[in-house]
Amino acid sequence: MLRRRHMVPFLLEVADLACRRGGRPVFERLSFGLAAGELLALTGRNGSGKTTLLRALALLVRPAAGTIRWQGKDVGAEPETWRGRLAWLGHLEGLKGDLTVAENLDVAERLRSATRPDAERLSAALAAFDLAALADRPIRTLSAGQRRRAALARVVLSGASLWLLDEPLNALDTAAQAGFRAALERHLAAGGLAIAATHTELGFAGMRTLELGSPA
């Protein structure tokens, strides 16, 4: 498993985590830690449990065993505080087809933080993914890559400490991938953490990788 390479204290510590799906273990005795400004890439074959691990970290799936700690405290003790620290990008975008890009970001942020995002932050998030021209287009009229960009803009807008991303580069063209890398770099430089399940090489200096074993 991962060893700490320097003496920066871990913000997120996962110890002996085990998850089961349909009665079968997906992974067992999984332990890792993540410090401020670190990115962890989850790799592994289809069905190795990358998505399950992300969902377990978000408390969407109850782990069979193990602990998840943030700054030394079990995150399950105050789940709402923990959820407030998270930004989530699943394999589904979490966008409403009948709402525009800007409306989707606005409502997602109000559901997440109960505050309305100010116009400046909203336009910055849109600009990070080159969405300014698409802001007033309903999501259902956009292509898969454009939707993915809108979902990533939602993650950026949240300003959350920990990004949980499931295949963030899916359907993105090279320009959008560069935009995503720049946004992720800013997030990490500001002391944020990110965990991304990915097939594609993210290509980050100092990125750590956790390879999940193939299921038995």
Give yes or no for residue 60 binding other proteins (CB under 8 A): yes
| Closest CB 141 distance from other proteins, rounded Å | 13
* C-alpha 15: how far from chain center: 20
The one among 34, 39, 112, 179 contacting other proteins by CB under 8 A: 112
In a 13 Å sphere around the CA of 92, the CA atoms on its Cβ side amount to 5
Distance CA 51, CA 29 (A): 17
The partner residues of 74 in beta bridges, in order of sequence, read: 69
Give yes or no for residue 93 binding other proteins (CB under 8 A): yes
Subset of 67-86 contacting other proteins (CB under 8 A)? 80-81, 83-84, 86
Give yes or no for residue 215 binding other proteins (CB under 8 A): no
Query: Which is nearer to other proteins, 9 or 76 (by Cβ)?
Result: 76
Give the 3-state secondary structure of residue 13.
strand
Give yes or no for residue 94 binding other proteins (CB under 8 A): yes
- Inter-residue contact 2 to 62 (CB < 8 Å): no
Q: Which residues have a Cβ under 8 Å from the Cβ of 111 and sit 6 or more positions away?
A: none
Q: Which stretch binds other proteins (CB under 8 A): 30-38, 54-62, 121-129, 201-209?
A: 54-62
DSSP state of 47: T
The one among 31, 43, 67, 113 contacting other proteins by CB under 8 A: 113
| Closest CB 140 distance from other proteins, rounded Å | 10
